[in-house]
C-alpha cells in the first residue's frame, strides 16, 4: 500500500487511518501522522501502540485495513440514588393460590398476611447518587457528565432516618405504606368495604378497621378489630378488643374468639369465646 488516508469521525470522536492506493497526500510515516494531528487540533486519546502497528504492517497490506489511532472518551453520567425496600410495601394482600381440594381447585379466599414491621426494623436503605465521569474529544475539549440525582423520600408518621440518612427505621409496630414518595408505618389496616373475595382473608398484626361486613366463610385475625357492618358464618379472632357494630348472624358456623373486651350489637347462632368481658347492646340468640 502507498500510505494511509486519515478520517476524523466527530460523531464517534475517533480518528482512523485507512490503507489504500491512489491516496492524495498519503500519510506514510508516524512522523507525518503526528504532524497531521498537530495541524488539525488532535491533542488527546492517541493509541501509540496501534499507530506503530499500522506503519509496521503498511508495506504488506493488500486491503483497505482500518486502524483506530486516536479516540475521545464519552462522558459517563452518574447513577441516581435508589430506595431499596427491605420489606413488602404493597398496599393489598396477595392471593397465595392454595389448592383447596384433591381436584386441584383454587381457594381464592386465602391470602398472604398483611406485611408488618416491628419497632426498630429497617424498612429501606437509601443508596446515594454517584458523580459523573467527564469525557473529552480528540481535540482535548472537556465533555461534562451529569451527576446522579438523590432519591426523594418523604417521611410520614411512624418512621425515622438513621443518623447518616442512609436507612429508615420503624418507630412503631405496624404496616409500612409507600405512596407518592412518602413512607409511613400505620398501626391500622383499613378496608373500605366488605371482607370478601376481593380482599381475601385478613391476617394483620395490628388494628383492623372494616367499614363494611365480613362475608360468609371468611376469616379476620388481628390484635384488635372494628367491624362497622355485620359478620356472617365467619371466623373472627383477636388478642385485644373487638367491636362488631352490625352484629353476628353465624348460622351455626360463626366462630368468634376475643381475648380482650368485646362490644357486639347482637349475636345470632354463633360460637363466642370472649375474655374478660362482653358488652352487648342486644342479643337474639347467644351460643357460647
Residue-averaged pLDDT of the chain? 87
| Contacts of 102 by beta carbon, 8 Å cutoff, 6+ apart | none
CB neighbourhood size of 85 (10 A): 14
- Who has greater pLDDT, 241 or 1? 241
Q: Is the per-residue pLDDT at 85 higher than 70?
A: yes
Distance CA 256, CA 283 (A): 15
Residue carrying C-alpha cell 437509601: 126
Q: What is the pLDDT of residue 276?
A: 60
Average pLDDT over every residue of 213-233:
94
Q: In what order do the strands lie in the sheet with 175-179?
A: 154-155, 182-186, 175-179
pLDDT, one tens digit per residue, over 108-148 is 666 556 778 899 999 999 999 999 999 999 999 999 999 99
pLDDT, one tens digit per residue, over 183-197 is 999 999 899 999 998
pTM of the shown model: 0.68
DSSP 15-75: EEEEEESS-SS-B-SHHHHHHHHHHTT--S-B-HHHHHHHHHHGGG--S--EEEEEE-B--
Average pLDDT over every residue of 46-70:
93
pLDDT bucket at 62, cuts 50 / 70 / 90: confident
pLDDT bucket at 285, cuts 50 / 70 / 90: very low
Amino acid at each position: 500500500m502507498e500510505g494511509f488516508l486519515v478520517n476524523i469521525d466527530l460523531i464517534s470522536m475517533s480518528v482512523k487511518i485507512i490503507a489504500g492506493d491512489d491516496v492524495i497526500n498519503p500519510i506514510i510515516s508516524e512522523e507525518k501522522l503526528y504532524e497531521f494531528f498537530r495541524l488539525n487540533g488532535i491533542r488527546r486519546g492517541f493509541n501509540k501502540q496501534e499507530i506503530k502497528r499500522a506503519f509496521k504492517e503498511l508495506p504488506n497490506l493488500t486491503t483497505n485495513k482500518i486502524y483506530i489511532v486516536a479516540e475521545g472518551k464519552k462522558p459517563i453520567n452518574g447513577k441516581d440514588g435508589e430506595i431499596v425496600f427491605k420489606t413488602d410495601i404493597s398496599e393489598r394482600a396477595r392471593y397465595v393460590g392454595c389448592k383447596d381440594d384433591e381436584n386441584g381447585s383454587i381457594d381464592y379466599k386465602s391470602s398472604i398476611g398483611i406485611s408488618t414491621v416491628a419497632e426498630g426494623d429497617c424498612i429501606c436503605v437509601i443508596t446515594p447518587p454517584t458523580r459523573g465521569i467527564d469525557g473529552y474529544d480528540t481535540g482535548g475539549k472537556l465533555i461534562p457528565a451529569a451527576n446522579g440525582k438523590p432519591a426523594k423520600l418523604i417521611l410520614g408518621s411512624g418512621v425515622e432516618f438513621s443518623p447518616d440518612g442512609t436507612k429508615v427505621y420503624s418507630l412503631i409496630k405496624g404496616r409500612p405504606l409507600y405512596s407518592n414518595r412518602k413512607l409511613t408505618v400505620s398501626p391500622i389496616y383499613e378496608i373500605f368495604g366488605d371482607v370478601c373475595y376481593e380482599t381475601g382473608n385478613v391476617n394483620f398484626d395490628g388494628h383492623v378497621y372494616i367499614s363494611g361486613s365480613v362475608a360468609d366463610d371468611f376469616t379476620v385475625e388481628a390484635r384488635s378489630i372494628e367491624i362497622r357492618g355485620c359478620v356472617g358464618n365467619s371466623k373472627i379472632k383477636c388478642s385485644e378488643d373487638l367491636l362488631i357494630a352490625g352484629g353476628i348472624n353465624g348460622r351455626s358456623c360463626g366462630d368468634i374468639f376475643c381475648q380482650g373486651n368485646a362490644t357486639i350489637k347482637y349475636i345470632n347462632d354463633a360460637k363466642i369465646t370472649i375474655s374478660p368481658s362482653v358488652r352487648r347492646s342486644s342479643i337474639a340468640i347467644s351460643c357460647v
